[in-house]
């Protein structure tokens, strides 16, 4: 937020993708089933937080999203899709879809534990307009340690997430002729990012802290 010059007062809505420590401000917040934007607690009065399962916050208004719903004009939570993850257990995660006029739907994913195939299938059910892009974390730590390759996926520990899974996702995304593919290094290794960069060329952008990805409406 600092890098982008965004102050807490400017925030209208917060969307928590899922209740993992790296998405709610640390282990303490995860255990409390709450979230924080910084170490100091901020007054978030007047802010509505949309969460994928039961959570609370001292000052924000918290709403559990149980099914797909519009949360602002053109901005939709596609509703939680839950996966049984090894180690983390049952994990409902919501992704956002932004309908950019004249362009199509841009999907924003947090970790993507439910897999991009399931997330896009949900988007297909909700929208009649073409899909324009996919932005965010997709959880491909495929050249990481064995432990990393088991955490956060629903694959069996003896067949952890692999380069083949990345190739399958890349092929799935490629079949949709997306104009924008932006993968976050969050939980994805360099090998995966290179595979995406190579596959999507001009359409590919890296996601990084303080970076902006702008999709302009067209008529
Ligand atoms: Zn994550
Ligand atoms: Zn996660």
pTM: 0.92
Q: Which of 103, 98, 108 is nearest to 132 (CA)?
A: 103
Ligand 2: distance of its center to the CA of 113 in Å?
A: 6
Are 100 and 134 within one domain?
yes
Ligand nearest the Cα of residue 52 is 2
Are 118 and 15 within one domain?
no
What is the rounded distance in angstroms from the CA atom of residue 58 to the CA atom of residue 8?
15
Torsion, CA 216, CA 109, CA 39, CA 52, rounded to 10: 120
Cβ pair 127, 97 in contact under 8 A: yes
- Among 26, 49, 64, identify where a domain stops: 64
What is the rounded distance in angstroms from the CA atom of residue 22 to the CA atom of residue 13?
19
Q: What is the CATH number of the domain that holds 194?
A: 3.60.15.10
Are 92 and 137 within one domain?
yes
Half-sphere exposure of 181 (CA within 13 A, CB side): 25
Are 20 and 127 within one domain?
no
Ligand 2: distance of its center to the CA of 89 in Å?
A: 11
Ligand nearest the Cα of residue 136 is 1
pLDDT in tens, 160-169: 888 899 999 9
Ligand 1: distance of its center to the CA of 18 in Å?
A: 8
Ligand 1: distance of its center to the CA of 218 in Å?
A: 33
Instruction: Tally the domains of the chain.
Output: 2
pLDDT in tens, 13-30: 999 999 999 999 999 999
Are 209 and 156 within one domain?
yes
Ligand 1: distance of its center to the CA of 3 in Å?
A: 21
Are 96 and 57 within one domain?
no
β pairing state of 131-136 and 48-51: unpaired
pLDDT for residue 140 is more than 90: no
Q: Average pLDDT of 59-86? A: 93
DSSP tag of 9: G
Are 130 and 117 within one domain?
yes
Ligand 2: distance of its center to the CA of 177 in Å?
A: 27
Per the structure, the complete domain to which residue 50 belongs is given by 1-64
């Amino acid at each position: 937020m600092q890098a982008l010059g965004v102050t807490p007062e400017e925030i209208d809505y917060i969307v928590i993708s899922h209740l993992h420590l790296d998405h709610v401000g640390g282990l303490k917040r995860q255990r409390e089933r709450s979230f924080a934007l910084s170490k100091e607690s901020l007054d978030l009065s007047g802010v509505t937080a949309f969460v994928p399962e039961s959570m609370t916050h001292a000052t924000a208004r918290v709403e559990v999203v149980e099914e797909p719903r519009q949360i602002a004009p053109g901005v939709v939570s596609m509703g939680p899709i839950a996966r049984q993850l090894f180690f983390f257990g049952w994990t409902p995660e919501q992704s956002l879809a932004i309908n950019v006029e004249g362009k199509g739907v841009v999907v924003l994913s947090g970790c993507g534990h439910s897999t991009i195939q399931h997330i896009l299938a949900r988007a297909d059910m909700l929208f009649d307009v073409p899909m324009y892009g996919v932005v965010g974390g997709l959880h491909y730590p495929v050249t990481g340690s064995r432990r990393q390759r088991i955490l956060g996926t629903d694959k069996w520990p003896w067949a952890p997430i692999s380069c083949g899974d990345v190739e399958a996702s890349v092929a799935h995304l490629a079949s949709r002729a997306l104009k924008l593919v932006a993968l976050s290094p969050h939980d994805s290794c360099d090998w995966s990012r290179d595979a995406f960069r190579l596959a999507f060329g001009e359409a590919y952008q890296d996601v990084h802290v303080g970076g902006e990805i702008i999709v302009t409406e067209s008529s």
